[in-house]
Chain A
Amino acid sequence: MKKTSPRAVLSLLLVLIASACADGCAGTRAREHVLWPRISATWPAIRKNIDGGLGSTTPTPAVAAAIAQFEAAVKADDYRLLRGLKWSPLKLLAVRGVRVRVEENEISEGVSASLLVRITKFSEALEELLSQ
């Protein structure tokens, strides 16, 4: 029987390991186990900002659909359900929600800056999450 050289076995192992991860397994895991939990944990606060931005107005069908899509993803704990999310209108509403509270003297300018930083980071995190 022909002997297989250790170098050939090592090469085969390297190819198998590399092929198994070539589809981006580290990135997928980081998105699923690190970034998504942070985003879903932050969603209730962002949702509160969005609701504040809506005030007493009825959300447009697009906004209502985007909110429902996010709620479904959080409930199912599956970020893949966010594919195709129209985030921009929600972000605008969240920012408006913070501004309204400043105008009503409920929070200070400084506190609003903190809330706006959270919205910005939430946006960036969403972009990173869905970039794969």
Chain B
Amino acid sequence: MKDVKEQLEDLLVDVLTETRVDLKKAPAEIAKFAAERVAHLATLVDDPGFQEAVRAERDAVALEAGIAVVEVADAVDARISHISGVIQGMLALASRSTATP
């Protein structure tokens, strides 16, 4: 049978999968954050409110993964915006050079 730490890791992997994040491919910060949270939870097993802590950590990891997804998407947008600017600039130059007699 899996120990508590392994069960918690499975739980957090499920959360990341729901958030469309593959833990093996996730940015190192998310994997590190998830590992830290699992390690913290493993110290609370006999504490009052443990189940609540599990839910809180699950939410925290999902939120962290969501933030990372948005940051990646924003970077993609910035790159597209940059490429768009370059292409439009090149086309403007090309049309100016062909329009000049």
Interface of B (DSSP majority class):
helix
Partner of A15, one of B20, B72, B91: B91
Tell me which residues from 22 to 73 in chain A have a Cβ below 8 Å from any Cβ of chain B. 22, 24-27, 29-31, 34-35, 38-39, 41-42, 45
Contacts of B87 in A (CB 8 A): 11, 14-15, 18
Q: Are A34 and B63 in contact (CB under 8 A)?
A: no
Q: Are B49 and A117 in contact (CB under 8 A)?
A: no
Q: How far, in angstroms, from A132 to B71 measured CA to CA in the complex? A: 11
- Least CB separation from B67: chain A residue: A128
Contacts of A113 in B (CB 8 A): 40
Tell me which residues from 101 to 119 in chain A have a Cβ below 8 Å from any Cβ of chain B. 101, 105-108, 110-111, 113-115, 117-118
Count A-B contacts at CB 8 Å. 139
Interface bin, chain A: 35 or more
Q: Are B84 and A38 in contact (CB under 8 A)?
A: no
Question: What 16 new A-B contacts, CB under 8 Å, besides A22-B77, A22-B80?
Answer: A15-B91, A27-B74, A27-B77, A30-B69, A34-B70, A38-B62, A38-B65, A38-B66, A101-B49, A108-B47, A110-B53, A111-B47, A115-B53, A117-B57, A118-B60, A125-B66
B residues apposed to A, CB below 8 Å:
19-20, 37, 40-41, 43-44, 47-50, 52-57, 59-60, 62-67, 69-74, 76-77, 80-81, 83-84, 87-88, 90-91
